[in-house]
Amino acid sequence: MSAVSTEGARVPEQLEDLESFRKRARSWIRSNLRRATRDEMRWGRFDGNEEAELAAVARDREIQRKLFDAGLAGICFPRAYGGQGLSPGHQKVLNEELVGYEYPARMQVPTLSPCATVLLEFGTEEQKLRHIPAILKGEELWMQFLSEPSGGSDVAGALTTAIRDGEQWVLNGSKVWTTGAWWSDWGLCLARTNWDVPKHRGLSVFMLPIHQSGVEVHRIEMINGSREFCQEFMTDVIVPDSDRVGEIDDGWTVGTRWMFHERMMYSSPYVSVPDGGSHGGTAATSLLNIARELGHMDDPSVRDLVGEARMLEIVGDELMKRVTESIRSGRLSDQAAAIGRLFKGTSASRISTLALEVAGSAGAAWTDESAASSTAVNFLMRQVGSIAGGTVEMARNVISERVLAMPRERTLDRDVPFRDVPRSRPTGS
């Protein structure tokens, strides 16, 4: 197993200074990327238009390759694997310069983080050389096969089974809530390899091509019309042992870091996301646009709502800076990433509510051109931010037990072999 720093890759002694890097990035972005439209900044809203979504995926791959050729991809990934070997400060500069421009959104999460970062920490040298350059060039899109229909937030309770057969493994089971699996290439999969030990001690991690014999991908339609989430059914899928990531039955060690990167994904130095979030800009700006369009700018109650949204954004940004720096310096363990996850989930839900309150009746009926067009749908979808990427309830548990050192929640299956843990009968049995 090979490990590197999770806050920034090993960097060469001589770094390009930030100002020179900014000028280079700015010049290239303005010369090669288009100004982003509202639709381009909110992927996953294609309402069943598969052709449009596949075209957007292809454009993301194209942009990623352009960034790679320009020396602007994989800013903090080591040069040995196709990265630039630069610092988190350089990544922040790039994120600032990307604001308002198209960028390869589908390449960032979960492809670059957490998937590529997991490979960087736990992959063999051969695995890293085979996959990380391909990821940075836009040739491979990765998804995480983590959640299961029976598990909810209990990731360690995975029922997907991997049975060894010589120098290969045979996988059977199902994964769910996999964003974009239908247009992606590889999956990072957590599977059960030992049923005779407690659940956390019998897991292993594998990587596998998604589009192969034995893997069925079913799409799930959500209330906003998006079909980005998928469920996968694996039947006798063959995975060579060379595609195992980490040690056998030690998948929870990999999984713990995997979930750390997932909680930190939009604050990760490994992703290129316009400063201010995945859409660029700020939610407060969006609320101002709604208020301005509807003529509510002079309403003091509306101004209070916009102010609250901006306050939540500022607090969130400063909180993530402090948590990131504390983890990097060793003042806090990496489990403190749950602090940012909790705040992000709860504040995102509140901001969606604030937007609907600003829009008022215009949030219930609108035209496509209206600034208020997405407020009602976002309100109905507001709990997604508290579930996807690990639930806020799990984040609270992590904070209380692993950050504040409070007594652990009582569990009855802690030292019980997983095959002896009582489970509900499958439907129809």
- In 70-116, which residue ranges form alpha helices assigned H by DSSP? 88-97, 105-107
pLDDT digits (tens, 9 = 90+) for 295-323: 999 999 999 999 999 999 999 989 988 99
Q: Which two tokens stand for residue 244?
A: 């195992």
Q: Which two tokens stand for residue 229?
A: 């989430």
pLDDT digits (tens, 9 = 90+) for 151-193: 777 899 999 999 999 999 999 999 999 989 999 999 999 999 9
pLDDT score at 381: 87
Parallel/antiparallel/unpaired status of strands 186-192 and 142-145: parallel
State the burial class of residue 369 (Cβ atoms within 10 Å of its Cβ: 0-12, 13-18, 19+). Answer: exposed
Vertex 154 angle, CA 144 and 328, to 5°: 65
Place of tokens 């548990």: 397
Rounded Cα distance between 138 and 69, Å, is 11
- In 171-299, which residue ranges form alpha helices assigned H by DSSP? 251-263, 283-294
Structural domains in the chain, CATH included, are 18-139 (1.10.540.10), 144-251 (2.40.110.10), 282-403 (1.20.140.10)
Would residue 230 be called left, alpha or beta, if left means φ above 0 and alpha means ψ between -120 and 50 degrees?
beta
Closest among 229, 253, 245 to 156, alpha carbons compared: 253
| Residue 320 Cα distances to 12, 55, 255, angstroms | 26, 34, 22
Higher pLDDT, 411 or 339: 339
